[in-house]
């Protein structure tokens, strides 16, 4: 059985005060409704756990009604940091869950092909993450504004979500991080603490995240069929 955990408990501080990026409209729907719709439609996912902020459950239930989401889903409260929210999501998985797909609520373009590819890679290796090759020219600084090194981008990847794991792998990895009181910004970083290798799964189509309002026009264009 495959469960998805959609992390939708962040505050999105880069959007400015009072703006919840998950509920910004793009192509006629809130961002997080697109994300949910991808997982609702994906045949490779059996159930969905939504990690939400206190007081937000009603808004999400309204989304499910409006958009007719049919796949079994339930809610759990988010934690202090992203890793705490993921931890809470993992705690509610069905006993039969073998594979868990962790997804940022603010990343609405992850389609079924990408989700399925990370599931296949996680079954094979234990841990997999959607990623794209870095195409910008990258330099390393001295910590200030002086370039100290040209970085060879040939081996650099920008990682996204889905981040997909055998359940026991991500539970052990996050437990290791929590025991040490560490802070990780993505779940694959936790795997390092248990020596679990992570497989990069290159997406075919763009898979942007909404971080600032400037990200919306591009995402709207993608959703309207741009580039097809």
Q: How many CB atoms lie within 10 A of CB 131?
A: 21
Is the CB of 17 or the CB of 143 nearer to its own copies? Answer: 143
> Exposed (0-12), middle (13-18) or buried (19+): which is 210, by Cβ within 10 Å?
buried
Cβ closest to its own copies, residue 95 vs residue 214: 214
**Least CB distance to its own copies at residue 24 (A):** 14
Residues in Cβ contact with 122 at an 8 Å cutoff, skipping those fewer than 6 apart: 99, 128, 164, 165, 166, 199
Point out which residues bind its own copies (CB under 8 A): 129, 131, 134-143, 145-148, 150-151, 154-159, 185-186, 188-189, 192, 197-202, 206, 211-214, 217-218, 220-222, 226-227
Closest approach, Cβ 225 to its own copies, in A, equals 12
Question: Least distance from C-beta 26 to its own copies, angstroms?
Answer: 12
Nearer to its own copies, 68 or 195 (CB): 195
126 vs 154: CA distance, rounded Å: 25
Question: To the nearest whole angstrom, how small is the minimum distance from the Cβ of residue 228 to its own copies?
Answer: 11
Cβ pair 83, 5 in contact under 8 A: no
């Amino acid at each position: 059985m495959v469960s998805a955990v959609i992390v939708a408990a962040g505050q999105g501080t880069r959007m400015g005060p009072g703006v919840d990026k998950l509920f910004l409209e793009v192509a006629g729907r809130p961002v997080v409704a697109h994300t949910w719709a991808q997982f609702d439609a994906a045949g490779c996912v059996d159930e969905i756990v939504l990690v939400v902020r206190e007081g937000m459950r009603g808004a999400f239930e309204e989304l499910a009604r409006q958009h007719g989401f049919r796949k079994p889903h339930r809610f759990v409260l988010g934690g202090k940091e992203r890793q705490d929210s993921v931890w809470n999501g993992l705690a509610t998985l069905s006993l039969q869950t073998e594979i868990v797909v962790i997804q940022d609520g603010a990343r609405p373009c992850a389609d079924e092909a990408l989700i399925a590819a990370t599931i296949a890679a996680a079954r094979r290796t234990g841990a997999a993450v959607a990623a794209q090759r870095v195409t910008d020219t990258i330099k390393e600084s001295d910590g200030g504004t002086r370039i100290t090194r040209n970085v060879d981008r040939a081996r650099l990847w920008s990682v996204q979500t889905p981040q997909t794991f055998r359940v026991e792998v991500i539970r052990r990895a996050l437990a290791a991080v929590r025991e040490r009181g560490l802070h990780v910004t993505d779940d694959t970083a936790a795997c390092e603490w248990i020596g679990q290798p992570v497989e990069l799964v290159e997406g075919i189509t763009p898979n942007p995240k909404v971080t600032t309002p400037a990200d919306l026009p591009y995402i709207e264009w993608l959703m309207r069929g741009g580039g097809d």
